Amino acid sequence: MGEGMKYTYHHGRTIKEYRELHRMTQAELAEVWPKSGGTEQGVNTRYVQDVEYGHKHIEDPHVLRKLANILDIPLWKFGLSEYDPFHPSVLPGRGRSMYDETLDTVESLIRQIWSLRCAARISDAEKGVKRLNELFAYFQKHLPPPLRLERRFQLLDIQVQRLNAATALERKRYHDAIGIYTHICAAVKQVDNASATAIALKSLGKELERKGKKQEAVSLLEEARDVSLGASKLVIAFVHSYLARVYASAGDTLRFERAVNTGLTVASSLNGNYEDSADFVYSWSPISALLAEQSWGYLEIGEPKKTLAMREEMERQIERGQDARLHAWIPLDWAKAHQMLGEIEQCIEEAREFYRRVTVMKSPHAISQVEKLLGSLEAEGYGGVQTVQDFLAELQEMKYVQQKEKKQK
């Protein structure tokens, strides 16, 4: 190549390379050269020469695909993928299955993200949620699913939205979480799936309970309970754990106890077989979750001693279920129980442990519960207690260090 000459790639170079590998002349290739828009073939030899020397350029992807088939050229050399969205059956066993494979991968990623949340690795889970959002945005704009996969796509999109709502909650964007769950409740009507519907109703009900709308929450959870009867035992147990929560919040002790007992009976019948991807309940141990809601519920109905009496069994079930997130949260129940009993030193001891665990989680929502607890202690007249003052000073010092580290980054 002479000085000043520039190498410029064009498809003709690749066509020539593979033509020669097949020991095919330009005239022989011209005879079978595919034409745009039909089944006709054949051009004059001069045209092949012009393409190979870069005087003419091929823009039609259909022609390139046919040439790739004739000359055994890997599609990536033409900047094309194995999947042909216009003729998915042209590549049997590959093009036709690419969307299925992609959705299988998406479902696997959703499972992994829920596992990360249960492992209390919130920041890692959020990275996965961000990637899923980007993927689904691309799907909806550029690559809508074929009709045979549309329902599955919708169900997976609902699971992505559930993760978005959980992320909003961790970031203390409670209004956003309710908005997302409201949208999900509308979306599940289009897919006619008992599991997805029950879980959507449960999720919205739980957030409304957090907002103080107790009767609306009870209504939604009771509807979720009824719908869950058409789903698996795992979903039934899952819904009953939160049904118990809203009954306790509403002060309905009898129904609270019944919901817990029903949930535990159903969960025990599963014999530890909790994984059920078809129902979109991932990495969740129903017995430990039900006991956690029972522990919280006893505080709501004014029975802190019952919460503390559950401690040994609660710790055993959390260890068995390997739920690091629940392990991080449960000391808050014990702190509140000691507070209700006027045992302030024990309360602060548990609050310290709770703060230590959720700081590792990096969940603003969880961390904010410490401030709420201290605020309630001050409101009850315990602000002057030395143990409380010492813990407040420790928190202020830790916040100062964290802010300094942020600025240095």
What residue segments make up the domains of the chain, in order of their start? 11-80, 323-409
For residue 97, the model assigns a pLDDT of 56
For residue 4, the model assigns a pLDDT of 44
Beta bridge partners of 281: 276
CA distance 239 to 196: 11
CA distance 337 to 358: 19
CA distance 26 to 409: 62
For residue 346, the model assigns a pLDDT of 98
Burial bucket for residue 396 (CB in 10 Å: 0-12, 13-18, 19+): exposed
CA distance 208 to 186: 16
The pLDDT tens digits along the chain (409 residues) read 444 445 578 899 999 999 999 999 999 999 999 987 666 788 999 999 999 999 999 888 889 988 988 998 888 788 776 656 556 555 444 444 567 778 888 988 998 998 888 888 899 999 999 999 999 988 887 777 766 678 889 999 999 999 999 999 999 999 999 999 999 999 999 888 999 999 999 999 999 999 999 999 999 999 999 999 999 999 999 999 999 999 999 999 999 999 999 999 999 998 877 655 566 776 568 899 999 999 999 999 999 999 999 999 999 999 988 889 999 999 999 999 999 999 999 999 999 999 999 998 889 999 999 999 999 999 999 999 999 999 999 998 888 777 777 777 6
Q: Domain 11-80 belongs to what architecture?
A: Orthogonal Bundle (1.10)
Residues 6+ apart with CB under 8 A from 267: 233, 237, 286, 287, 290
Quote the tokens at residue 368: 């904010």
Quote the tokens at residue 385: 């207690």
Closest CA to 282 of 330, 240, 323: 323
- Inter-helix orientation angle 98-118/324-340, to 10°: 30
* Beta carbons within 10 angstroms of residue 269's beta carbon: 11
For residue 38, the model assigns a pLDDT of 63
CA distance 198 to 228: 5
